[in-house]
Amino acid sequence: MGLVAAAARPHAGGMAEVLLFHHICGQTPGFLAFADDLRSEGHTVHTPDLFGGRTFDSIAAGEEYAGKVGFSALLDAGVAEADDLSDDLVYAGFSFGVLPAQKLAQTRPGARGALLCYSCVPVDEFGDRWPAGVPVQVHGMDADPIFVGEGDVEAARELVGQADRGELFLYPGDGHYFADPADPGFDPRAAELLRARVVGFLAGLT
């Protein structure tokens, strides 16, 4: 239990099935490369496209599209992506994708774990508290005006404090999509740390 802001802990080996949701710019090459990287580690990774092939060059453009479709409708569509999959899933998301990932982790029985990158929603948005026995990692930059300025970091501290195994990793910097090579806020060192920690988390699941 508690907060972690240091190196990843070593874990035993294991394979996981991951349902990974994209951010508000859609399935960018960086997002797809991250999914392929996890597959190269031996994990099964599902990457539903909630935007029907659309990608956007900015957060503002992606938000405009999502606003037209309806954020609630997109959240419902993301949650529905789990219907034909097993219960034994790790739910993961980047920024906007955290919404369906976190909701599924909190409300769908059998979650194996959760990976929440760049964003975090207050626990009471989807239930009374974080479910027992579901490990979680949250990743964000310590000066990101979205992650910190909009209160996600406080939601993350509460969430990991409730989890039996909860980790909050804060990286120095103000980028939002800091692990996406195509984004102006890309930080190679932080991206590699995030990758290593995610790989370690998945390998440690039993």
Q: What is the pLDDT of residues 48-70, one digit of tens each?
A: 999 999 999 999 999 999 999 99
Is the residue at 7 inside a domain? Answer: no
The distance of Cα 172 from the centroid of its chain, to the nearest Å, equals 18
121 is a domain residue: yes
CA atoms of 92 and 90, how far apart (whole Å)? 6
Q: Within a domain: residue 191? A: yes
* CATH number of the domain encompassing residue 199: 3.40.50.1820
pTM: 0.91
Residue 2's pLDDT band (boundaries 50, 70, 90)? very low
Which pLDDT belongs to residue 11?
A: 34
Q: Supply the range of the domain harboring residue 164.
A: 17-203
Which alpha helices (DSSP H) does 41-151 contain, by range?
A: 59-69, 71-80, 98-107
d(C-alpha 171, C-alpha 45), whole Å: 25
3 state SS of 48 = coil
